[in-house]
Every structure is written in C-alpha cells, then in structure tokens.
Structure 1
C-alpha cells in the first residue's frame, strides 16, 4: 500500500465529509485538553448525539476545569451524569481531577495512561486531540478499519497498534485520527459497511470478504428478577443509597422479597452489564422496608438527587399511572 497516497485520500474525504462541527474538535476552544478528556469519557458506551444534546455542555458549565471538578461534591457530579450510566466513569474523572488539578493534564501518553479511568485509546486521544502530539491509537472503530484494510484475522492488540502506527500521518495526526474515527462511524460500520462509497476502498484488502473478518463477541445474558418497593408517605418517597460498586452513591428503590400481599403496579424490563432484569414494582407500606436503610425524599426534590437509570424508569411508571407527579 502506498501510505502517502492513503493518507492524502483519507484527509481529502475528511475535509469534505468529516464531522468538523463537533465542539471537542475545535482547536481554539479554551482548556482544550480538559474538554477532550470530558468528551472522550462521555463517549465511552454512549452515542455522540446523546452526549451532545443532553450532557456535554451542562457538565462543562458546571465543572469548567479540573480544579472545579476536583472540589465538587460527588453527588453533584453523579447528578450531572445521571442517565449516562457506567458511573465508575465520573468517579474516576474526579479522582483524576484531584491528581491533576494543580499541574494540569500531562501531554505524554505514558503519563496519561497511569491516571484513573484512562486506557491506551483515551490516553492517545487526549495527547493527540488535546495537545497535537503525533500519536496513533486504536478504538473499536479504528480496530474495525484496520482489520478490513489489512485483512487481519484475529489480530492481537499489539498487531493493531503496529498497523495504526504504520499508517499514521505524522504531519497531520489530529485530522488523520479524526478521519479514521469518522470513517468507522459513518462508512466502515460494523454490520453494513458502505464499501461502494468508501474513500479508501482501493486500499482495502478485505472489502470483498469483510464478513469473515468481523470479530463477534458473545455477550453474557443472565436473567434475573427484582422486586422493588414503592413506599409513599406524606408526599415523600422512600429511596435507598446504593453501596454496590456499579451504582455506588446513586439512589434506588428498596428491594423486597416477593409477596402476594403487596399491590403490584407494573413490570419493567431493564438491562445492565451482563444482566437482563424483570423488575416487579409494588406499592407497599413502610413496614415492608423497615429493615432497610431507606430515606424519604419529597417528590418535588427528586430532580436534585442522583438516581439510577432503573429508578428513573420506575418514576416514569409512577407518572404514567398517575401515582406520582415529579419534576423529572
């Protein structure tokens, strides 16, 4: 493959078709490395549209820099993250902020990767997009492109990183890497790649048999039932602060044992990590949750505490049933 020709072709496509308006790609934005950090962490497991429309700007407005993030209450950070899921992300962000508040984010990949919640890809992205360091990296989109481009079967991470480095445009790494990300998101997609309009089709060794190069990952799907208590008293509702790792610091409805004596108002489906949940929701008396560490919150204040995504679903059910009116 003529690497220079490949690089020029990729950049020409990106100049016309790339997502240049994404705010974290603005090189003139103040505190650019921090902005890139927030965008990269938010975009893990989350679509660009969701991040842009609901989370990115409000989060930056509330926590405009590392120092503000380091000094914030964890509850406020979780509240700003509410609905994004994977709450270890904001907790790691604050840990990182406390480490780097005085010195700023490091420029070197080797230093970045030592920080909480920062993997190889994120470290490379911050160095390249935040500081214009000429470095290659591999995320799921770039991995898919490399596997097809070089017709690789079950490559190791090291092999992929070597290939990414081999095609890196050292003169314009910023746009080169952004172009690869956009190509993977818009053209070289997982299920239906648009090979006929792909700008690098002529260089692609695996375009005619891309299906055989797709790496399929098996997701564990464990089914589980939950029984949740909805206890409302004097316009206050019972919630319990989670101490479990996944939802640590977030409020959920108390769990109870299944009982025919409670009034069931609905069954919800919910999924997280490897579990598919069947969630039974019951109206209960306070005695049903007497042994729990539930706290009562006024229904008008529910928008001021960090709620799990499951709790938000239950509240929506309560609204549909006209059992609860809340500002959420």
Structure 2
C-alpha cells in the first residue's frame, strides 16, 4: 500500500495533496461511487469490494393507511388544494372525517409509494359533508391543467377503470 501511495504522493504539497484526496473521497467515493472517472482507479483497493467500502443509508419505511373521499357531482370531481409545503398548490383527493369509513360505500383500495411512505389508499363514495377540509369541484377539462400528483392520477385512473368518473 505504501509503495502505491509513494507513486502519486507529492511531499512538497502535502496539505493540497491531502485536501485533494478528501475532495475525491467526498465527490467520487460516494454511496454510488464513480470509479470509472476516478484518477486513482488504478491504485484503488476498494473498487473490487464496493459493499464493504460504501455505506448504504437505510431509510425507514413508513406504512400509512389513508381514507379518502370521492365526491362526484354534475360530472365534476371534488379535490382539495394542499397548503402544506411538500405538496403546496397541488390538488389531492380529500381525507374523510374520522370514523366515517365504516358508514360509506367502499369503492376500493390502491397502494401507492413515494419516498419513504407506503400508502394504502382506501376510497369511499362520499358527500361534501363527509370531508375534513374544503374542496372544489373540477371537470375532466379542468384536470388537464390542474397541478395534481401521481397519487391523484392513479386514483383518477382507478375511477375511470371502474366507470365512476371520466369514462
């Protein structure tokens, strides 16, 4: 190892040399290492055993059960405009008020994942009074330009497949 280090070690510029190695480590030897572009690739002993030399951050998966209301009136669908920062300005299907899911007609369930969340979306045919937050009604044409998430698109596709909306 020392013999290999001596091949590229610059004794006159040790500070800059060490700083360069630190920078290489930060930019190249990342959790997804870029060995192909590393100038030290010919000397590297870690490239042949990446699992041992790279750390994988384990992300905690959060399972979440959601109860969403589907309100359809005059061939328009009810969506809630989100005001929280992650989905700010986007439109989602609204949450039901507490404990209503057992009293409303069940339409089906959809699984959806994003980042660290695994969601089980339970869909119920609801009325405006059954929803937690204020909503607006939108036509199919409105939905073409409305900012909506992939989760909302998945639910709309489900409703279309069931001939409940947009068919």
TM-score by length of 2: 0.72
Partner residue of 2:130 out of 288, 293, 308: 288
Shift in Å at residue 160 of structure 1? 6.7
CA distance in 1, matches of 2:144, 2:59: 33
What is the rounded CA distance, in whole Å, between the counterparts of 2:22 and 2:147 in structure 1?
A: 39
Aligned to 2:55: 215
Q: C-alpha deviations, 1:149-205, integer Å up to 9, x for none?
A: xxxxxxxxx88752269x9xxxxxxxxxxxxxxx94xxx5xxxxxx9xxx9853432
Determine which structure has more spread, i.e. the larger CA radius of gyration. 2
Distance 1:221 1:160, change over 3 A: farther
Structure 1 residues 244 and 208: alpha-carbon distance in aligned structure 2, compared to 1, 3 A threshold:
same
Q: Determine which of 137, 145, 153 is the counterpart of 1:304.
A: 145
Which has a greater percent of helix? 1
Residue 180 of structure 1 aligns with which residue? Answer: none
What CA distance in whole angstroms lies between the structure 1 residues aligned with 2:24 and 2:139?
56
1:1-328 map, 5 Å: 162-163=23-24, 184=34, 202-256=42-96, 257=98, 258-289=100-131, 292-325=133-166
Segments of 5+ residues of structure 1 without an aligned counterpart are: 4-157, 168-182, 189-194
**Secondary structure of 2:94's partner?**
coil
> 3-state SS of the aligned residue for 1:208?
coil
Alpha-carbon distance between aligned partners in 2 of 1:284 and 1:224, rounded to the nearest angstrom: 21
Instruction: State the shift of 1:319 in Å.
Output: 1.4
CA deviation map 1:268-326 (0-9, x unaligned): 1122333221110111123323x521011112220111012211111111111121227
Task: Please give the per-residue CA displacement for 1:205-257, whole angstroms capped at 9, x wherever unaligned.
Answer: 21332220021101011211111111000011101100111111100111003
Map of 1:132 onto structure 2: none
Task: Report if aligned partners of 2:67, 2:101 keep a CA contact under 8 Å in 1.
Answer: no
How far apart, CA to CA, are the structure 2 residues paired with 1:302 and 1:308? 11
CA RMSD of aligned residues (A): 3.1
Residues 284 and 209 of structure 1: CA distance in aligned 2, closer, same or farther (over 3 Å): same
1:219 and 1:303, CA in 2 relative to 1: closer, same or farther beyond 3 A? same
2:101/2:124 contact within 8 Å kept: no
For 2:159 and 2:85, locate their aligned partners in 1 and report how far apart those are by CA, in whole Å.
27
SS at match of 1:282: strand
